[in-house]
Chain A
Amino acid sequence: MILEMNDIKKSFGNLNVLRGISLNVDKGEVVSIIGPSGGGKSTFLRCATFLENIDSGEIKYMGKTAASTDEYGNCHYVSAQELREFKSCYGLVFQQFNLFPHYSVLKNVMDAPVAVQKRDKSEAAETAMEMLRKMGLESKADSYPYQLSGGQQQRVAIARALALRPEILFFDEPTSALDPELTGEVLRVIKQLAEENMTMVIVTHEMPFAKAVSNHVIFMDGGVIVEQGAPEKVLGDPNEERTKSFLRNYSQ
């Protein structure tokens, strides 16, 4: 099991954003999370990537515990030092790309492997070029992010995440900030990664894409998982009324 998240709870003040969510992801699995805005999807990814601290529950990567809750209900994380080691297990692709504007495309992709993982510079540059080639962007290696379209920037962000050789990749609405004509190129590279058996968790609003790419679909609303299962089932013939009405509104 690559990722295990059990009974995750998270609230901001009085607002219970996550009310006991569990998710297990096996190697090679692609999980899509769909649902209305404000349903807790992004917060869930932010908890999985330690950008937010959970209030209670358990998070494990590769069978190793990163956060757990004791019998008194107090949540404990491992030390900051140990937590940093978990960070090479996963990558996160943001809605807003968040590339480093002062670094060239190549430097964006190869800096973390060198500065964080202490990998050899020429090896890291080679890996970075390989990732950029995969994203169809090798000709843009010396460009700066502002010179690229949104779709290209997002593909650089994917290459940057891949360069750290993560076990699992998270996507937080990777096409929501893009012009409609640019979403295709980003979805295509994610599909390609799925074909290469990359383990992924994708928060998305692209239903046909979710159906095509994932093994498992989760419909989340109001901080709980309303329904989950095979993509054909959840997206094609859901059991729950909430899921049905969401998909109905969506197709309109």
Chain B
Amino acid sequence: MTLSTMLTTMGAGMLRTCTIFFLTLLGALPLGFVIYFARKSKIKVLSSFTKIFISIMRGTPLMLQLLVWYFGPYYLFRWSIRGYRFTAIILGFVLNYAAYFAEIYRGGIESIPAGQYEAAEVLGYTKTQTFFKIILPQVIKRILPSVTNEVITLVKDTSLAFTLAYQEVFSLAKQISASQTSFMPFLIAGIFYYIANYAVAFAMERFEKALDYYK
């Protein structure tokens, strides 16, 4: 196998890796807020349930969770799982990362001093205005470093999709390396992950800088 064929084959895997990455962020970043609000809900059943959910998501391996989401429907209900692989992967990643994001949001929101809420209340802002205009912008600035960490972890975690035999870049590297008895695929995969994370770190740093205008 020539290097260019190797690169083309693995390029398709890189694309799949990026798809998992972006879809996970797209789902998990907003879902994290939903989970945070459910956790903070006055409805006891909802908040307890959410707490247990977060605990399980954080307390068990993502690899195991992916297997459960994919094979669970078949083993538990004998449902056909044909064509369901990709959905299971995204489901597993989104739910897992949303749980982590919910906890990051919680830390950020609870670190805003009570005086900010009180000032907004006395000035007559509604609860919604207070959250979106006063609290959320400050929360975003505070949680940015933790979110960066999480996003970098996600880039590397996408390789866990190999558990469900999804042909992303890590699976392909393993396969090609074994069939061609070559070290090259590992090197290509490594460089790919590194560049991806370099881009993430760069973008997040720019974002942090953009919010540097206040303290």
Contacts and interface: CB of A to CB of B under 8 A. Distances in A.
A84 B134 contact: no
A164 B141 contact: no
Contacts, number: 56
Nearest to A91: B122
Interface string A82-97: 0010011011101010
Interface in B41-84: none
B167 interface: no
B119 interface: yes
B214 A111 contact: no
B137 A102 contact: yes
Contact of A115 (B113, B119, B125, B141): B125
Contact of A51 (B113, B121, B137, B214): B121
B124 A102 contact: no
A164 B119 CA distance: 13
A38 interface: no
A65 interface: no
A164 B123 contact: yes
A112 B119 CA distance: 11
Contacts of B214: 101-102, 144-146
A239 interface: no
Contact of A164 (B115, B124, B137): B124
A101 B138 contact: yes
A112 B138 contact: no
Contacts of B138: 101-102
B180 interface: no
A100 interface: yes
A94 B119 contact: yes
A160 B119 CA distance: 10
A31 to B, nearest CB: 18
B208 to A, nearest CB: 14
Interface string B84-125: 000000000000000000000000000001011011011111
Given A50-B121, A51-B118, A51-B121, 10 more contacts: A87-B124, A98-B118, A98-B119, A100-B134, A102-B214, A112-B124, A115-B125, A116-B124, A116-B125, A164-B124
Interface of A: 49-51, 84, 87-88, 90-92, 94, 96, 98-102, 111-112, 115-117, 144-146, 160, 164
Q: Which 4 A-B pairs have the closest CB atoms?
A: A98-B119, A98-B115, A87-B124, A146-B215
